[in-house]
């Protein structure tokens, strides 16, 4: 029987905008190692496939409306590659996914750090490839804004190509390490990349041996046409966002449909939408749990959650209708929010409450059976191969899912009851990652 995959998006205090104010949260947990250790150990106890760290190379918020920034816990966090290297030492099986930007990095560093993490973790590393759209990030690297769309994706494609080339620098059995003869490696099994492209010129070889997975797992999280194409061509996992099964299905069919032209089987790519799951023994308890957090959203923070797309609405009455935006930003997202507001006739407050928790991801609040039903519907209905769980707060919100929802999924045969395989690639059922230089040589022969 086909089983689902589960990841957890575990950066900082959790996904809900008011997470740090939760009565049981350690409010400085986003900079406490013990907090991250407890979170990842909960996820591993729950047999999750992966522990996923979103990232940005800059602070995430603008101070809009004024006062929003200083009310947010999302401004500081551990850097993912260092944190995951540490967490590799307190876990044994769960995958470790770090987000890293192709726009503000160099491929040699990225190839090297992920290869090193793959060695450190015994084959559990993954890279969420993002192109960094925000101006806050650009300004930390000498630019006023991110490069335009096409350019970012063009660079990303070449970046990934270089990284994969570097990961093939050494064949699996290149190292003989024969003390007697003094031969350390077979030079025929060292491949110097000598890449010269539009964005990068990289000689190689990588100064890290071929890794346990051959290549760390590739995760993709862009929803645009280029993002989908990149996922179909190169990703092992997609972290998607959808509110309805129709949306999820359309996205799923589209991305899987693009894979054939790259000679890939659809099953080798796992599409995992984000899911904020809030379980309770009863529906009432679940809703009460959610309300604890919703009530902690300060209006300024709520307004800031929509300001990024609709602009600063603080001059308008909170309990009045959502006005037409004057300077809408991130147009596609602005349209989604306005459609929501118009469809359900939401006030400004209702709108921010509706999105401030899951930030556009599906939110399911209910008994473990309700949540398992919701997951099963998408999983069997062509909308998902698994889910990236977004705990509203950490570690408690994750522990509740592990203790209540996971057993229900296992009872239904929808989720594993023990870890299998050796590497994250095995666990996900992803394609093996052949060494391209070896493949090319075989083709030439």
Ligand X SMILES: Cc1cc2nc3c(=O)[nH]c(=O)nc-3n(C[C@H](O)[C@H](O)[C@H](O)COP(=O)(O)O)c2cc1C
Q: Under rule CB under 8 A, which residues in 151-180 are in contact with a copy of itself?
A: 170, 175, 177, 179
Q: E strand or H helix at 127, and its extent? A: strand 125-130
Q: Residues touching ligand X: how many (CB under 6 A)? A: 17
Least distance in angstroms from the C-beta of 305 to ligand X: 16
Classify 321 as helix, strand or coil: strand
Instruction: Tell the smallest beta-carbon distance from residue 57 to ligand X (Å).
Output: 8
| Binding piece for a copy of itself, criterion CB under 8 A, among 55-63, 310-318, 361-369, 424-432 | 55-63
Q: Which residues are CB-neighbours of 275 under 8 A, at least 6 positions away?
A: 361, 362, 363, 364, 374, 375, 387, 388, 389, 390
Residues 6+ apart with CB under 8 A from 321: 341, 345, 347, 348
Other CB atoms within 10 Å distance of the CB of residue 393:
25
Return all residues near 365 (Cβ < 8 A) that are at least 6 apart: 278, 280, 283, 286, 287, 289, 290
Q: Which is nearer to a copy of itself, 305 or 406 (CB)?
A: 305
d(CA 151, CA 154) in angstroms, rounded, equals 5
Interface residue with a copy of itself, options 39, 41, 77, 128 (CB under 8 A): 77
Q: Which helix (H) or strand (E) holds 50?
A: strand 50-53
The smaller minimum CB distance to ligand X, of residues 227 and 383, is found at 227
Handedness of CA 253, 48, 97, 31 (dihedral sign): positive
**70 binds a copy of itself per the rule CB under 8 A:** yes
Minimum separation from the CB atom of position 70 to a copy of itself (A): 5
Chosen from a copy of itself, ligand X, none, partner binding at 130 (C-beta under 5 to 8 Å by type): ligand X
Q: How far is the CB of 222 from ligand X (least distance, A)?
A: 3
In b/e form, how buried is each residue of 332-357, taking b as 16+ CB within 10 angstroms?
ebbeebbebbeeeebbbbbbbbbbbb
197 burial level (CB within 10 Å; 0-12, 13-18, 19+): middle
Give 429: exposed, middle or buried? Use CB within 10 Å, 0-12, 13-18, 19+: middle
Q: Name which of a copy of itself, ligand X, none residue 414 binds, using a CB cut-off of 5 to 8 Å depending on partner kind.
A: none
Using DSSP, state whether 36 is helix, strand or coil.
helix
From residue 208 to residue 247, the character string flagging contacts with ligand X as x (rule: CB under 6 A) and all else as - is -------------xxxx-xx-----------x-x------
* Residue 185 interacting partner from a copy of itself, ligand X, none (CB closer than 5 to 8 Å by kind): a copy of itself
> Hey, which residues between 75 and 104 contact ligand X (CB under 6 A)?
99
Tell me the residue nearest to ligand X as measured from the CB: 222
Binding a copy of itself (rule: CB under 8 A), the pick from 1, 150, 182, 442 is 182
- Scan residues 264-303 and list those touching a copy of itself (CB under 8 A): 296, 298, 301
State the minimum distance, in angstroms, from the CB of residue 359 to ligand X: 9
- Residue matched to tokens 């575990």: 10
User: Residue 34 Cβ, how far from ligand X at the closest point, in Å?
Assistant: 23
Q: Which is nearer to a copy of itself, 60 or 93 (by Cβ)?
A: 60
d(CA 381, CA 335): 27
Which residue lies nearer to a copy of itself by CB, 170 or 239? Answer: 170
Q: Which of a copy of itself, ligand X, none binds 325 (CB below 5-8 Å, type-dependent)?
A: none
**Is it true that the peptide bond before 205 is cis, omega within 30 degrees of 0?**
yes
404 in contact with ligand X (CB under 6 A)? no
Site string (28-47) toward a copy of itself, x via CB under 8 A: x--x-x--------------
* Contact flag: residue 166 with ligand X (CB under 6 A): no
Q: Other C-beta atoms within 10 Å of 93: how many?
A: 19
If one asks whether residue 274 binds ligand X (CB under 6 A), the answer comes out as: yes
Residues 81-120 that bind a copy of itself (CB under 8 A): 81-83, 85-86, 88-90, 104-106, 108-109, 112-113, 115-117, 119-120
């Amino acid at each position: 029987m086909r089983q689902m995959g589960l990841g957890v998006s575990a950066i900082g205090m959790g996904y809900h905008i008011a997470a740090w104010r939760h009565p049981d949260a350690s409010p400085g947990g986003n900079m406490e190692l013990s907090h991250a250790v407890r979170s990842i150990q909960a996820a591993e106890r729950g047999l999750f496939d992966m522990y996923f760290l979103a990232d940005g190379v800059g602070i995430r918020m603008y101070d809009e409306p004024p006062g929003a920034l200083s009310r947010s816990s999302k401004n500081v966090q551990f850097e993912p590659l260092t944190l995951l290297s540490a967490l590799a030492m307190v876990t044994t099986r769960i995958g470790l996914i770090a987000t890293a930007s192709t726009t503000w990095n160099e491929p040699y560093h990225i190839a090297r750090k992920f290869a090193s993490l793959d060695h450190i973790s015994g084959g559990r590393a993954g890279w969420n490839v993002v192109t960094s759209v925000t101006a806050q990030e650009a300004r930390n690297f000498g630019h006023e804004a991110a490069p335009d769309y096409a350019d970012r994706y063009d660079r990303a494609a070449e970046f990934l190509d270089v990284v994969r080339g570097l990961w093939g620098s050494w064949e699996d059995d290149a190292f003989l390490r024969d003390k007697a003869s003094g031969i350390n490696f077979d030079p025929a099994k060292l491949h110097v990349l000598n890449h010269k492209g539009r964005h990068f010129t990289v000689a190689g070889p990588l100064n890290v041996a071929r890794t346990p997975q051959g290549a760390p797992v590739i995760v993709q999280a862009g929803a645009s046409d280029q993002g989908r194409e990149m996922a179909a061509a190169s990703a092992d996992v997609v972290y998607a966002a959808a509110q309805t099964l129709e949306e999820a299905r359309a996205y799923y069919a589209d991305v899987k449909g693009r894979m054939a032209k790259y000679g890939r089987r659809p099953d080798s790519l796992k599409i995992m939408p984000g899911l904020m799951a809030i379980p309770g023994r009863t529906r009432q308890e679940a809703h009460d749990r959610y309300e604890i957090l919703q009530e902690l959203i300060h209006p300024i923070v709520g307004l800031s959650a929509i300001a990024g797309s609709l602009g600063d609405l603080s001059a308008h009455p909170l309990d009045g209708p959502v006005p037409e935006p004057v300077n809408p930003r991130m147009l596609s997202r602005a349209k989604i929010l306005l459609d929501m507001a118009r469809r359900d006739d939401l006030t400004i407050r209702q709108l921010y409450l509706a999105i401030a928790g899951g930030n556009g991801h599906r939110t399911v609040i209910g008994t473990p059976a309700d949540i398992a039903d919701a997951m099963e519907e998408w999983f069997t209905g062509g909308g998902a191969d698994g889910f990236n769980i977004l705990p509203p707060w950490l570690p408690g919100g994750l522990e509740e899912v592990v203790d209540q929802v996971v057993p229900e999924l296992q009872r239904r045969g929808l989720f594993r009851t023990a870890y299998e395989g050796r590497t994250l690639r095995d666990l996900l059922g992803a394609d093996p990652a052949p060494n391209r230089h070896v493949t090319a040589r075989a083709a030439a022969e």
